[in-house]
Amino acid sequence: MRANSSAKPDSAAYRTSFAYWSNTHGYFGAGGNATDLDAYIKRRMPECLPQLGEKTCKEYYAHMENTTVPDDGFTNNVWGTCQHGNLNFLPWHRMYLNFYEKTLRKQTGDANFSLPYWNYYEERSKDGKGLAIPALVRKSASDPLFDAWRTPGLNDNSTSITVQTASARQAFAFNDFTNFSNNLQNQPHGAMHCAVGTGCATPDMGFVPIAGLDPVFYMHHANIDRLWQCWLDRKAGGQKQDLAWAKKNLGMPDSWYNIRYTFADESGNQVDVTIADVFDENKFPRRYAADLRCEEPVLKQESHLVATAGESPLKSHALLTHQDKIVLRGKPAAVNLQPAANNLRASVLSQALQETAATYLILENVTIDGAPAITYDIYIANKEQGDKRIYVATFNLFGAGDSDHHHDHSEGMQLIFNVTEDVSKLGLTGPDSVSVTFEPTTLSSRPVPQANSSSGISVGSIRLENTAVRP
């Protein structure tokens, strides 16, 4: 596939190349789906400088270049069509992997070839405390699966990825497709992109338009697709996962299934597929064994963070809030929650979530101030006992601040986390004892850089809602 990257741009051979498939996900250049290279560098360089310094940042950015869309009649509708920040994310990437795997199969001549997935917990760092990228993709600089533009230290395993970064716990805490998809897209999908791309300050994995230049990208997305299949299997409970089942159980409108995308197939020919096709086993055969398992290790809290299980007093309180805007600029922040005023008791959750008896932590109107900067681990804590806090999730910056079609956080996001089990372990004495802590992280063993005061993350308000209680 790499050899075909040198083929004539409007040829069928080029459409089976590694370059073509990377550009299908995203690319720099001109065209309706392109990302402006100069604007992207201007936006991202301030994020990189505190992490790696000017010399290294320029070295990392130097290989990024504009690409011209081939004038072949359909590639303009193929390149740069990756779906992020919406509910097309999972089906689009399943389509993408399907045709990419078929192309690999044809190139290898092995009809049984299967794209491997990156099980994040399988390989550990040298010290055993963190996670490593697969040895398959970090053998040597001359290996076609090697990529030099990863977080410094990942290729020689001297830098590790923090264990909690790879967690899909929040995604699997939801039984509805919308919140499962949104959480899986945030973590581990985006979080692992940022872990390999220096906190999403550097290419290749850290930048949406060229993430596909790193071979580990395909293994990463194969695992995200596997996790989706695990969720589907659990939800289906042995039922056939055809279109009729999907329409009955995923809660998506019929129009969603008619959304159409264009790809190049294994022979370089145009092929159009719809989201409905993803649920047709004749068009998209199952890629995984029937007894697929996606269990992950329980996140081991540091000894001083271990909480004692107990009865939560929050059952008598429908809503706790912090209504003031919080701006995070690279330093830890603890925010105390208080019982909401009567006029704030209206739920912001979907009807499906309101009908469940659970406790949700909701961050509303989350935006990027300036250039994307530091990523944060989110904890829920007992403010009366500072040694008791529990990790909830990591808010990552993959694609954050991009004003193109890939991702746009400028209008604010709503992040919803299921913390039902967490609040029961905090030893809370009442609603006034709850706080939310934001801890800066590089998602790896690398130290957190000095904060850039001109950049940060804003959280408009924070809510802790117990759906078992109605006013």
- Sorted by where each begins, the domain ranges of the chain are 3-279, 303-466
Model confidence pTM above 0.85? yes
Q: Which residues of 236-386 form beta strands (DSSP E)?
A: 260-264, 270-274, 319-322, 326-328, 333-336, 338-339, 359-369, 375-382
Residue percentage of the chain with pLDDT more than 90: 70
- Asked if residue 15 lies in contact with residue 268, where contact means CB atoms within 8 angstroms, the answer is yes
Say what the pLDDT of residue 299 is. 63
Q: How many CB atoms lie within 10 A of CB 415?
A: 19
pLDDT at position 430 is 77
**What's the confidence (pLDDT) of residue 450?**
79
Domain 3-279 has CATH 1.10.1280: yes
CATH architecture of 303-466: Sandwich (2.60)
Residue 113 confidence (pLDDT): 92
Q: Residues in the chain with pLDDT < 50?
A: 302-307, 405-406, 408-410, 471
pLDDT at 300: 62
Buried b (16+ CB within 10 A) or exposed e, 225-236: bbbbbbbbbebe
* Residue 67 to residue 74: CA distance in whole angstroms: 16
Degrees, nearest 5: CA angle 230-445-42: 90
How confident is the model over 392-404, as pLDDT tens digits? 999 988 987 665 5
